[in-house]
């Protein structure tokens, strides 16, 4: 009876989930041939849910995040976002879906050095036709960036650059935020402040959040934690 129940519940959970990763597999080629990294990983993420993705260095956390965001293609398995399967879309199709529905916070910020903070924050929103000056102002105010809007990335501290990256990921009001160690390069005090600001803004939009982190303190702030080890989630 329990097995029957599980078979009935799983399709329902997938229908209700915003992000559905199903049996994701990927290998990299090394000196000794193919090295399996992800071995049939499945993950469900609901709207407005926050999930911490933990694991040892080299376990494939960033790779899984990139597959979830359409930045990398898996060898096998499917990725559905908002009930749209983009596993086999060409790069142009994945980029379009990513621009409209996904906000990504990279570990290395990836800001555009030739434009100021205000333009960096609004960059993806403008591409998406979702630019809202009042909302950009709200993001800057909440993240403590009002005084830096006309500054350029190279003049900012690491903490300020991370805040800009977070604001940019939220500016187009995406349905899901994928964050790769968003506070990993910051000192403990700054990291705590930035995390508080980020979670408050994500909560405002009801976006789902999947965050790669090594920090048990950060992971404890998420609603749920999954651990990647040996190519599988536990």
Give the residue among 16, 51, 4, 40 at the shortest CA–CA distance from 177: 51
Residues 63-120 pLDDT 10s:
999 999 999 999 999 999 988 898 878 889 888 989 899 999 998 889 999 999 999 9
Count Cα neighbours of 63 within 13 Å in the Cβ-side half-sphere: 22
For residue 168, pLDDT over 60 is answered with: yes
What is the residue whose two structure tokens read 């994928």? 178
Which of the following CATH numbers is that of domain 2-233: 3.40.50.10310, 3.40.50.300, 3.90.1170.20, 3.40.109.40? 3.40.50.300
- The model's pTM is 0.89
Please give the residue that has the higher pLDDT: either 188 or 154.
Answer: 154
Residues 124-153 pLDDT 10s:
999 989 999 999 999 999 999 999 999 999
Give the residue among 144, 102, 146 at the shortest CA–CA distance from 125: 102
Say what the pLDDT of residue 11 is.
56
Question: In the chain, where are the structural domains located?
Answer: 2-233
For residue 190, pLDDT over 90 is answered with: no
Residues 36-69 pLDDT 10s:
999 999 999 999 999 999 999 999 999 999 999 9
User: Where does the pLDDT of residue 15 fall: very low under 50, low under 70, confident under 90, or very high at 90 and above?
Assistant: low
Say what the pLDDT of residue 142 is.
94
């Amino acid at each position: 009876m329990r097995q029957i129940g599980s078979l009935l519940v799983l399709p329902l959970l997938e229908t209700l989930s915003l992000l559905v990763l199903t049996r994701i597999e990927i290998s990299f080629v090394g000196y000794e041939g193919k090295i399996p990294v992800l071995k049939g990983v499945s993950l469900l993420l609901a709207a407005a849910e926050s999930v911490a993705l933990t694991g040892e260095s080299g376990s494939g956390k960033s790779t899984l995040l990139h597959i979830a965001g359409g930045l990398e293609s898996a060898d096998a398995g499917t990725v559905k976002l908002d009930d749209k399967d983009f596993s086999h879309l060409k790069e142009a199709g994945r980029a379009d879906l990513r621009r409209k529905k996904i906000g990504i916070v990279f570990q290395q910020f990836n800001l555009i050095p030739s434009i100021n903070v205000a333009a960096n924050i609004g960059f993806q929103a403008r591409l998406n036709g979702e630019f809202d000056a009042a909302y950009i102002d709200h993001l800057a105010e909440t993240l403590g960036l009002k005084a830096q809007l006309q500054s350029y990335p190279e003049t900012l501290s690491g903490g300020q650059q991370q805040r800009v990256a977070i604001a940019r990921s939220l500016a187009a009001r995406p349905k899901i935020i994928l964050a790769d160690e968003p506070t990993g390069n910051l000192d403990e005090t700054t990291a705590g402040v930035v995390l508080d600001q980020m979670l408050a803004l994500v909560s405002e939009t009801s976006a789902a959040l999947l965050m790669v982190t090594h920090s048990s303190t950060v992971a404890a702030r998420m609603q749920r934690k999954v651990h990647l080890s040996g190519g599988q989630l536990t």
